Chains A and B, each alone.
Chain A
Amino acid sequence: MVEGEETNFPLNARDCLYLDWSHNNGHLCRPLQDDHEITIEELEMRYDTSIKKGLTSSFASQVLERDGPNALRPPKGTPEYVKFARQLAGGLQCLMWVAASICFIAFGIELARGNLASFDNLYLAITLISVVVVTGCFGYYQEFKSTNIIASFKNLVPQQALVIRDGQKNQINAIDLVVGDLVEIKGGDRVPADIRVIFAQGCKVDNSSLTGESEPQSKTPECTHENPLETRNIAFFSTTCLEGVANGIVINTGDRTIIGRIASLASGVGNEKTPIAIEIEHFVDIIASLAIAFGFTFFVVAMFIGYEFLEAMIFFMAIVVAYVPEGLLATVTVCLSLTAKRLARKNCVVKNLEAVETLGSTSVICSDKTGTLTQNRMTVAHLWFDNHVHAADTTEDQSGQSFDQSSETWRALARIAGLCNRAVFRPDQEGLPRLVVGDASETALLKFTELTIGNIMVYRDRFNKVVEVPFNSTNKFQLSVHELEDPMDLRYLLVMKGAPERILERCSTILIKGQELPLDEHLKESFLTAQMDLGGLGERVLGFCYVYLNEKEFPRGYKFDSDEMNFTTSDLCFAGLISMIDPPRATVPDAVMKCRTAGIRVVMVTGDHPITARAIAANVGIISEGSETVEDIAIRKRIPVEQVNKSDARACVINGGQLKDMSSEDLDEALRSHPEMVFARTSPQQKLIIVESCQRLGSIVAVTGDGVNDSPALKKADIGIAMGIAGSDAAKNAADMILLDDNFASIVTGVEQGRLIFDNLKKSIAYTLTKNIPELTPYLIYITVSVPLPLGCITILFIELATDIVISLAYEKAESDIMNLKPRNPRRDRLVNEALAAYSYFQIGAIQSFAGFTDYFTAMAQEGWYPLMCVGLRAHWENVHLQDMQDSYGQEWTFGQRLYQQYTCYTVFFVSIEICQISDVLIRKTRRLSVFQQGNKVLVSAIVFQLLLGNLLCYCPGMPNIFNFMPIRVQWWFVPVPYGILIFVYDEIRKLGVRRNPGSNTFVIVDNHPPPLPLVFLVAGCDLKHKEKVSAFFHESLFCFSRYFTSTPH
């Protein structure tokens, strides 16, 4: 797939980037992109356009035909059949395919040899295939559904663009734009294509979706840089024009735009295998090698005993097939999709089923700041007036505490904030949140004043604006002059806001409790402290002042000139400071805390400024209280930064500039030595580097993001999480999971569910594996000892597919400590490890086999076939022509009667496995708590259901001839019970060991964190370090055993 994507870019993208910039002639690279450098006339020539009249409509449609629509082509959609085929080709699926083909081969051989005893092999093959196909359909459906949900996000309202063609201004759909079109953009628009700006007035563009940088860039017609990415006269597709107006010529459309290239190349970043896929592959490896080893051993044994080669071959294949856990695939798929469904209810849409588990394995979350951790809206956080800092309500729903608004100063401050403000609500809006045209801080002020003093638009109308001086970088302030609402009062009101120190410079008095007081050193000092404090919180601080202009000097009708500033701009009265921040979401600190307890590192990776980033990080707990950076320590100890021991600093803030100079080893080292990391001012490339570095350190990395610039990192991450509301399509396409509510807290839910699923899968697999042995041993005994076959394959299928899945569904709720454990180590904590396999196979599985055979021999003996007689009976037993075969009592049996007796054996074996599995599921419920310590109603009902199903299979009329189940005698249900009790007691002792020796890990089998030394319940005592503990344990277990045995009738 990766290769396929690459071919879309015929030339190395790096070579092409600066060469093939405009790219209006197919796949050829033109030497050097210079659309920004050439003169307007040359540009007109190049694109056959006019900066006055634009293109002609007819030429435009020709170009449209040549270049295609101006839209990002969705990443080359995998054909549906390939998606479906992919669902059929996972690790387990391949195992099943192999098994099915083996069945077909065995069936073919039997058919060819003409001694076709039954169609079992054929049925088995068909069942295997249908399991694969049905679960495949399930997975495909899930994927299909989430694709649909994602598709529904795509903006249904087509983007419009104002284009000038044939000298006429037209609104057309942005996708119809072509190279050479003359377009007009204004504040609030999305830039419809890559545009060479030819005229601009106060045009500012938010490039954050491209660079992640939230600071607006101004756009002017001049070429300021030879690098097309840097020059001010090119505006990029899909960035947002914040304010001002601009005209420009379209120079790139669709996928040829810079954003288009990033988006389509991001989809070329290969998808790593999900952790669960790796685990399942590992599991399949184990199964396959065990199956082949077993099969081969018995092949040799069979040959040695004297079976024919072909017969031995069939045995070999049958053993391999018997080893395949048929039910597991369905269990895994059902578990995953149930969890996906549960997550969807909590606003996480999972695109790929396996990603459900990935989140559970996650050990590092690289979170974007804006929009994920924060609300993505500037909000007034603090005010300073009357020589006090007041905190404003920053919650999303205005549920917090507000400050005391009774002061006269506050009224003055609010009036300035409301009047000296160019932001306006978009007209004709219903409902909330209302959209605002204006820059972020003005918007914040507008909303704040609207909330605190009422309808600000009406308020502004009352104070007629006479003149206004917009902000510029030399002044660093903005002012406006208003008439007063009282018609009798003929004074003008001058209001001003701007950089605090610049405002302060122009003030001579300060308003304290409604009184104008002279601005003395003391007040200045306190102003400075306040400004520093607020700035230190990462907040954007603005100063506000006002003055009533002298009525005589500035009578009504005075000609104010905004350029000359022919009015008082000094000796003003300082009103106060207002500071703004994009506040964290209310749920985030709690969620970050939960991540911490769950051992997950939350790393902030943002395009924003270090100070803001750090302030927010501290606010939400990514940097915990009391953590210091190297710089902090240096300042505290008054030593140079170089002398600080880096390991003393828990926190670290690295900005993009520093990161640029770091080698990958440096970055790894930094990530290793500082647990609390904030990356600020990072570029998209650097995000990718950070993710790679985390992965190099062995972490499973989740990345959250929303912009196009995040999409490569999202793709690179083990699980990319895109924001549903704020996210760009490119990000959503690259992600594995989408948070519909953009809420970081949902990730925590995802982690919990992911861990739960891993635990439950582990339990399910342990449970499923166990009965593989009692399913296999009958066949082995059948081959070696030649007893009548104790267990048929249809019966095995019923154990696997009917009873098993039912039990697996009744999986546990999270054990209470699930979010207090460290994330699993993907290298060590495998889904299936040796210890688990050995315990399931060779201990519990062995006990179950004995249970099955006990019941089998009981059923045979009570019907007239003594155990010893069964040995070597196979050849006669299976002789179709022998109609008067004598049993131990001399009774004569027809073949049909023997067959039903054989079915009876199948059934009792089935019942034995079922009874033992009930015991097994009880022991698998918990990893180390005793079963009595955790109840589960679902489980109980699942067990009851399983028993009912067993009874139905046994006693429903017609079963003998359909599914080879016989109505068996009631007492045969109870034969395996002692073995069930044995399993239970055996495991309770193991768990007792786990609890008594929490450190030793000697008894841990099914655990998230098995010891590096696995396989040891079986070697209890081999770990000589724990010698005393082990011997103490044995004493205790013996005591327990005796107690269990005296209390259970055996």
Chain B
Amino acid sequence: MGTFSFSFSTLVCSSHQSQKGTHKHGHELEEEQEELAEHQPLEQEDLNFEKWKRKPLPKRTLYQTIDSVKTYLWNAETKEFMGRTGKSWSLILLFYSALYLFLAAMFGGCMCCLMWSISPYHPTFNDRVMPPGMTMAPHLDGHDIAFNASDRKSWKKYARSMDEYLKPYNDGVQERKNIHCSQEKYFMQDHLEETLERKACQFKRSWLGECSGLQDPHYGYSLGKPCVFLRMNRILGYLPGQGKAINVTCGVKKGNPEALGEVEFFPKSLFDLKYYPYYGKLRHVNYSAPVVAVRFAGVQYDAHIYVQCKLNGKGIINDSPTDRYLGAISFTLDIGA
């Protein structure tokens, strides 16, 4: 049975040991080896499984936690607030003020450069505002017109809103401020000096006929034949229609097309070229955007009619899926007797 459970010489052999006799030395060695090779008994402790389990960490009490937070906030010994002395904090503050001052100056410089680089008379780009949107009056909370012709209260608000809308177009104001234009083409004033104010063409309220509110101060609401005003959004330098005036059409968006009946336009269903281009509010101070008044003379009563008025012309988008007010406007008519 030949396992040699032994034979380890040992390191711990000092010089005096080796001076001893060979035999004795050999014997000693052997004893030492015996000891080394001796079976290491398993201790009861080795199998004390309790010890192998994780000891829970001592939990800090709430009081200690609060105390350490307090010390962190204000350490009276070192006079430190949140781990720093007053000097340290003020240096931090100083550094940051310097840094942010520099950044603010740089930002300010950039803004100056920016403002210096852009003209006050015309925007650098106008691609986002093109093509024009369309707005209407009356415009209260929404674009729904619902009233009873016989019920004054139900349409009074519309009439008042229209009054407000037309104020700048009063004939007197227009005659005083603007010139009379008769040409049928764009009113170009590019050759003038840049800073000079541009002239604007008159657009008189009286041209709106039955929708002018002059003959009928209720704009046809009392008769159940309401008027609405349409305007095209102003865009600086924009030449709508590329030489051919934009026209306006109104129709039923969904439902019976007959329900709308006859539709009249004042002064006509066109936005005349002479009102364009717009030169911006700085130079075109008295600019009056042309209005197209639409009168629904034969509208069916007690029906909820979806009406859509559109601009038609070159360069106009009136069917954008994302922006319902681009070149078109939708509203409902709900008229009772």
Interface residues of chain A, those whose CB is within 8 Å of chain B, are 2, 6, 12-14, 17, 202, 204, 211, 213, 215-217, 227, 229-230, 242-244, 258, 261-262, 265-266, 268-270, 272, 422, 439, 441-442, 470-473, 476, 478, 498-501, 504, 524-525, 528, 531-532, 534-536, 538, 540-542, 607, 609-612, 614-615, 631, 635, 656, 660, 681, 683-686, 688, 712, 716, 842-843, 846-847, 850, 853-854, 857-858, 861-864, 866-867, 881, 883-884, 886-897, 900-901, 904, 961, 969, 975, 978-979, 982, 1015, 1018-1022
Contacts and interface: CB of A to CB of B under 8 A. Distances in A.
14 contacts: A6-B53, A17-B49, A439-B4, A535-B10, A536-B13, A685-B47, A858-B114, A863-B125, A884-B133, A889-B123, A894-B325, A894-B326, A895-B323, A1018-B95
Contacts of B54: 2, 269-270, 272, 716
Contacts of B106: 850, 978-979, 982
B107 A853 contact: yes
A499 B4 contact: yes
Interface string B77-101: 0000000000110011001100110
Interface in B292-336: 320, 322-326, 329
Given A881-B142, A890-B280, A891-B123, A1022 B236 contact: no
B63 interface: no
Given A884-B135, A897-B128, A1019-B92, A850 B107 contact: yes
A105 to B, nearest CB: 29
Which one of B2, B54, B92, B234 has the highest number of Cβ atoms from chain A below 10 Å of its Cβ?
Answer: B2
Interface in B272-301: 278, 280-282, 284, 287
Contacts of A230: 41-42
Contacts of A12: 50
Nearest to B133: A894
B3 A243 contact: yes
B12 A631 contact: yes
A1022 B7 contact: no
A242 B27 CA distance: 29
B312 to A, nearest CB: 18
Given A498-B4, A685-B51, A901-B128, A883 B135 contact: yes
Given A863-B128, A892-B233, A269 B325 contact: no
A268 B134 CA distance: 75
Interface residues of B, number: 90
B139 to A, nearest CB: 8
A534 B234 contact: no
Contacts of A684: 46
B88 A1022 contact: yes
Given A14-B50, A890-B278, A501 B26 contact: yes
A878 to B, nearest CB: 15
B72 interface: no
B133 A499 contact: no
- Which interface residue of B129, B132, B233 has the most chain A CB atoms within 10 A? B129
Given A471-B2, A540-B4, A683-B42, A890 B128 contact: no
Nearest to B127: A863
Contacts of B107: 850, 853-854
Contacts of B133: 883-884, 892-894, 896-897
Interface in B1-30: 1-14, 18, 22, 25-27, 29-30
A265 B52 contact: yes
B115 interface: yes
A541 B30 CA distance: 12
Interface string B36-79: 11011111111111111110000000000000000000000000
B118 interface: yes
Given A635-B14, A847-B103, A893-B129, A528 B52 contact: no
B252 interface: no
Nearest to A843: B99
Given A532-B9, A893-B129, A1019 B46 contact: no
B43 A895 contact: no
A896 B3 contact: no
**What 9 pairs across the A-B complex have the smallest Cβ distances?**
A535-B9, A896-B323, A890-B281, A894-B133, A270-B54, A202-B1, A892-B233, A471-B2, A501-B26
A270 B233 contact: no
Given A889-B282, A892-B135, A542 B7 contact: yes
Contact of A215 (B5, B45, B91, B323): B5
A422 B47 contact: no
Given A894-B323, A895-B325, A476 B25 contact: no
Nearest to B85: A1022
Contacts of A683: 40, 42-43, 46
Contacts of B181: none
B190 interface: no
A527 to B, nearest CB: 9
A541 B9 contact: yes
B259 interface: no
Given A204-B3, A853-B107, A897-B128, A612 B8 contact: yes
Contacts of B329: 883
B325 A266 contact: no
A863 B42 contact: no
A398 B124 CA distance: 81
A217 B39 contact: yes
Nearest to B88: A1022
Contacts of B231: 884
Contacts of B281: 886, 889-890
A894 B129 CA distance: 8
Contacts of A17: 47, 49
Contacts of B41: 227, 229-230
B234 A891 contact: yes
A476 B6 CA distance: 9
Nearest to A634: B14
Contact of B124 (A258, A499, A863): A863
A378 to B, nearest CB: 11
Contacts of B284: 890
B234 A14 contact: no
B154 interface: no
B136 to A, nearest CB: 9
A282 to B, nearest CB: 16
Given A843-B99, A889-B122, A532 B3 contact: no
Given A607-B40, A884-B135, A890-B234, 18 more contacts: A14-B50, A204-B1, A229-B41, A261-B49, A528-B25, A538-B8, A609-B8, A611-B11, A685-B47, A850-B107, A854-B110, A857-B114, A861-B118, A888-B123, A889-B280, A894-B323, A896-B320, A896-B324
Contacts of B42: 211, 227, 229-230, 683
A501 B322 contact: no
Given A867-B111, A894-B133, A216 B7 contact: no
A227 B44 CA distance: 9
B27 to A, nearest CB: 8
Given A542-B7, A891-B236, A896 B280 contact: no
Given A216-B5, A683-B42, A609 B280 contact: no
Contacts of B270: none
Nearest to B54: A270
Contact of B235 (A534, A850, A891): A891
A883 B323 CA distance: 10
Contact of B3 (A6, A216, A615): A216
Contacts of A846: 99-100, 103
Contact of A442 (B2, B49, B100, B134): B2
Nearest to A2: B54
B29 A501 contact: yes
Contacts of A211: 40, 42, 46
B161 interface: no
B215 interface: no
Nearest to B45: A685
A1002 to B, nearest CB: 12
B262 interface: no
